Amino acid sequence: MNDILLMLPGPTTVHPRVLNAMSQAVVNHRGAKYGEILTETTELMSKVFQTPNNSYLLTGSGTAAMEAGIANTVAPGEKMLNVVGGKFGERFMKIAQTHGIDAKELAVEWGTAVTPQAIKEALDEDEDIKAVSVIHNETSTGVAAPIEEIGKVMKNYDALYIVDTVSSLAGDEVNVEKFGIDVCLTGSQKCIAAPPGMAAITFSDDAWAAAEKVETNTFYLDMKAAKKSGDKVPPQTPYTPSVSLTYAMNEALKMVIEEGIDNRVARHHKAAKASVAAVKALGLELFADEAVSSATVTAVKMPEGITDDQFRGTTRDKYGVELAGGQDHLKGNIFRIGHMGNISYKELTQTFAAIGMTLKGLGVIDDAGAGVSSIAESYL
Amino acid sequence: MNDILLMLPGPTTVHPRVLNAMSQAVVNHRGAKYGEILTETTELMSKVFQTPNNSYLLTGSGTAAMEAGIANTVAPGEKMLNVVGGKFGERFMKIAQTHGIDAKELAVEWGTAVTPQAIKEALDEDEDIKAVSVIHNETSTGVAAPIEEIGKVMKNYDALYIVDTVSSLAGDEVNVEKFGIDVCLTGSQKCIAAPPGMAAITFSDDAWAAAEKVETNTFYLDMKAAKKSGDKVPPQTPYTPSVSLTYAMNEALKMVIEEGIDNRVARHHKAAKASVAAVKALGLELFADEAVSSATVTAVKMPEGITDDQFRGTTRDKYGVELAGGQDHLKGNIFRIGHMGNISYKELTQTFAAIGMTLKGLGVIDDAGAGVSSIAESYL
């Protein structure tokens, strides 16, 4: 299983340094040693979120952090606005509904991004909106929302600003303090490039103030319990954490800081730009509006006349490159190239060579090398 | 950190085979390869639960599985009975309350076990009880509940039988089908001896029928979503799982089956019996009623005149053996020896030598070797 190159919008290929860290002996999660590792890891997390506030690790997926983000800050019956332009926007809607929140949808055409103006109008229309959720990087469509500009709008309203940066943090610009984000959450297995299974979240003072008023109906994801345990000496998690994934996150975050957040983001933007150019060089069409296309995943329309199985089956089984398909109504209509984490020209050359060979083999294109040649030009 | 012997009621020392398996490269959790590993792991899980029903892995702690167990099968406003004789029984109460369930407490003195008769009486008194929760092995007190005998009572009632076997499965007798358990849940880091961060749960047909009627207010722990994803080809989890911990669970469960469940349970009982004898040989007093004392953790009253810090600090820092303290009102009043997972005379000799040396060093006893000598006699 080591031979498959994962070019997915998560999980991403994990560096041996991180895998080695993860396989260290498990320590007592209530002891001083784990307390040290936890403190260091959450401090690294806050550095990457770019916030002076504390961060918390959750043993669970990004979805667990999404649920923690809203179920602790918006009470049942209260109104929140969710930007929905893809599968993860829909997920915030469903989570809100599950918790009895009055969930309003701000629908955006899939493949395009919400505008700050649209959010301003929605907030002006309804002053009962207690929170707004935005997916920074909608992995289902390959679109990045303008979270900095939205943040400028949000500063004029009392509503909490909740941002899912699961597939963007450490790969695209996210500055929690500067952008005025109240609740920011992420996952381990995307641009941070640790294995999946852990999530992280940070709350602003306003978010904590809201949480104080909410009698939450989640126990495992109760953030007030997380805070109480985090404040203990030594710091703890309320329930048993994944100790091994804490080690992995610790090492992966150290690698992020060693590289430098800005350098890492620039590297992701470069990979995105190179991927877009290579897609065009192959004569393929982008799914997302190029002006708002993601730094970490490129969504491409599936060429006419071939199936998802033919295309992705071949790149995976014949050429060892695993790409993502479309989700829900986009199944079979698009494929997605994840370029997050430890991504360089090496992975992209293999990927676009595989895509080119597959498409030529299927009779879709004539020049198998146009994509990979474009990657070389981009990285020259 | 490799030098500390963990003698906790979880996490336990993880075998290198399991750590190695965990550090394998991460595969796509939506692909066929992960589907195979997931299927094999959940089938192994059902073997260990001893049920013909499907098992499900949850990325989270045992607490997440406790919440999944009741929030999916008991609706807000419905009545359930929770046996409370320690911290984990209390936790079921709190989780039920968090979900708006009408939670009734069947209080049991800490250190003693509930009787089947007491459960029968509670059910006879109130026919509205939709479910009964029991902690099989109350790690906070070192007591095992008679879940087989309780199962015989439960068969005469419609109420669901929910059993937490977090710290007993694969270490004490648990037979989900034979005992008539409707919801059984466990954690990765106890007798299964994988690292912490994953839980498992299985539902009977009656539990699924109840779940169909409950509009649950948890999203991440929605078992109907877990079932739907588990039924896909290839089988999946609804949200991104900890792929690495799935590898670890897979390997750890294989080790359980290789040893044989009955052999493994017998090995735990032997360790428990030897520990109890060694505690007595040292002149110490058990906290739990010996007739119901746990197969996986032995709770001991702290000798008069010494503090938890003095005692456990010395066993850990001077002798490299990490023991557990008491929780809540038992803090400082008891200490607990976890003997679960890969436990043999080797770990127990080190442990009781450390306890003996510590107590003699603190002037509590005269014979530092009485405990370890007793271990040798027990294992002869």
- DSSP codes joined into one string, A114-175: --HHHHHHHHHH-TTEEEEEEESEETTTTEE--HHHHHHHHTTSSSEEEEE-TTTBTTB---
Mean pLDDT for the stretch of residues B123-135: 98
The A297-301 sheet, strands edge to edge? A297-301, A334-338, A324-325
Q: Can you tell me the distance from the alpha carbon of B174 to that of A370, in angstroms, rounded to the nearest whole number? A: 61
Which residues of chain A make contact with B140, given a CB cutoff of 8 A? none
Q: A87 CB contacts (<8 Å, ≥6 apart)?
A: A138, A139, A140, A327, A328
Share of chain B above pLDDT 90, in %: 98
C-alpha A347, offset from chain centre = 20
* Residue ranges covered by each domain of chain B: 5-9+260-379, 16-258
Which residues of chain B make contact with A59, given a CB cutoff of 8 A? 59-61, 64, 196-197, 242
- Interchain pair B11, A240: CB under 8 A: yes
Share of chain B above pLDDT 70, in %: 99
Q: Is the ipTM of this complex over 0.90?
A: yes
Shortest alpha-carbon distance between residue A88 and chain B (Å): 11
Looking at the predicted structure, is the pLDDT value of residue A2 above 60?
no
Closest CA to B42 of B193, B237, B258: B237
- A294-339: per-residue pLDDT in tens? 999 999 999 999 999 999 999 999 999 999 999 999 999 999 999 9
CA closest to A193 among chain B residues: B26
Which residues of chain A make contact with B218, given a CB cutoff of 8 A? 67, 98, 218
User: Is the CB of residue B239 less than 8 Å from the CB of residue A187?
Assistant: no
User: Is the CB of residue A70 less than 8 Å from the CB of residue A133?
Assistant: yes
Q: What's the whole-number average pLDDT of chain B? A: 97
- Interchain pair B33, A1: CB under 8 A: yes
Mean pLDDT for the stretch of residues A126-132: 98
Q: A44 CB contacts (<8 Å, ≥6 apart)?
A: A250, A253, A254, A256, A257
Closest CA to A140 of A349, A351, A330: A330
B80 phi and psi angles, rounded to 5 deg: -135, 155
pTM across the whole model: 0.96
* Torsion B56-B247-B31-B45 (CA) sign: negative
Candidate from B94, B220, B222 with C-beta closest to A60: B220
Looking at the predicted structure, is the pLDDT value of residue B3 above 90?
no
- Interchain pair B10, A240: CB under 8 A: yes
Candidate from A1, A22, A221 with C-beta closest to B23: A22
- B330-341: per-residue pLDDT in tens? 999 999 999 999
Classify domain B16-258 at the CATH class level. alpha beta
pLDDT at A3: 80
Looking at the predicted structure, is the pLDDT value of residue A48 above 60?
yes
- B249-308: per-residue pLDDT in tens? 999 999 999 999 999 999 999 999 999 999 999 999 999 999 999 999 999 999 999 999
- Interchain pair A6, B26: CB under 8 A: yes
Q: What is the number of CB-based contacts under 8 A between chain A and chain B?
A: 196
Candidate from B25, B64, B218 with C-beta closest to A2: B25
Which residues of chain B make contact with A217, given a CB cutoff of 8 A? 98-100, 217
Shortest alpha-carbon distance between residue B124 and chain A (Å): 30
Looking at the predicted structure, is the pLDDT value of residue B311 above 80?
yes
Shortest alpha-carbon distance between residue A117 and chain B (Å): 31
Candidate from A14, A24, A240 with C-beta closest to B196: A240
- A199-221: per-residue pLDDT in tens? 999 999 999 999 999 999 999 99
Looking at the predicted structure, is the pLDDT value of residue A1 above 50?
no
- Interchain pair B196, A241: CB under 8 A: yes
- Interchain pair B196, A26: CB under 8 A: yes
- DSSP codes joined into one string, B70-97: HHTTS-TT-EEEEEESSHHHHHHHHHHH
User: Is the CB of residue B26 less than 8 Å from the CB of residue A189?
Assistant: yes
CA closest to A76 among chain B residues: B217
Expressed in angstroms, the distance from the first to the final Cα of chain B is: 31
pLDDT at B2: 53
Residue type, A215: E
- Interchain pair A1, B31: CB under 8 A: no
CA closest to A58 among chain B residues: B60
Q: Can you tell me the distance from the alpha carbon of A338 to that of A336, in angstroms, rounded to the nearest whole number? A: 6
Candidate from A6, A67, A244 with C-beta closest to B197: A244
- Interchain pair A197, B197: CB under 8 A: yes
pLDDT at A273: 98
Looking at the predicted structure, is the pLDDT value of residue B209 above 70?
yes
Mean pLDDT for the stretch of residues A256-282: 98
Which residues of chain B make contact with A326, given a CB cutoff of 8 A? none
Token pair of A25, please?
């002996």
Token pair of A237, please?
């998690």
At which residue do the structure tokens 């839980």 appear?
B199
Shortest alpha-carbon distance between residue B53 and chain A (Å): 25
Crossing angle for the helix pair B308-317 and B345-361, to the nearest 10 degrees: 130
Residue type, B346: K
- Interchain pair B59, A60: CB under 8 A: yes
Q: Can you tell me the distance from the alpha carbon of B153 to that of B264, in angstroms, rounded to the nearest whole number? A: 28
User: Selecting from 3.30.465.10, 3.90.1150.10, 3.40.640.10, 3.40.50.720, what CATH number does the domain B5-9+260-379 have?
Assistant: 3.90.1150.10
- Interchain pair B240, A197: CB under 8 A: yes
- Interchain pair B29, A11: CB under 8 A: yes
CA closest to B193 among chain A residues: A26
- Interchain pair A98, B219: CB under 8 A: yes
Q: What is the DSSP letter of B133?
A: E
Shortest alpha-carbon distance between residue A332 and chain B (Å): 15
- Interchain pair B242, A241: CB under 8 A: no
Looking at the predicted structure, is the pLDDT value of residue B1 above 60?
no
User: Strand, coil or helix: what is B222?
Assistant: coil
Q: What is the DSSP letter of B14?
A: P
Candidate from B95, B100, B245 with C-beta closest to A197: B245
Candidate from B27, B64, B242 with C-beta closest to A220: B64
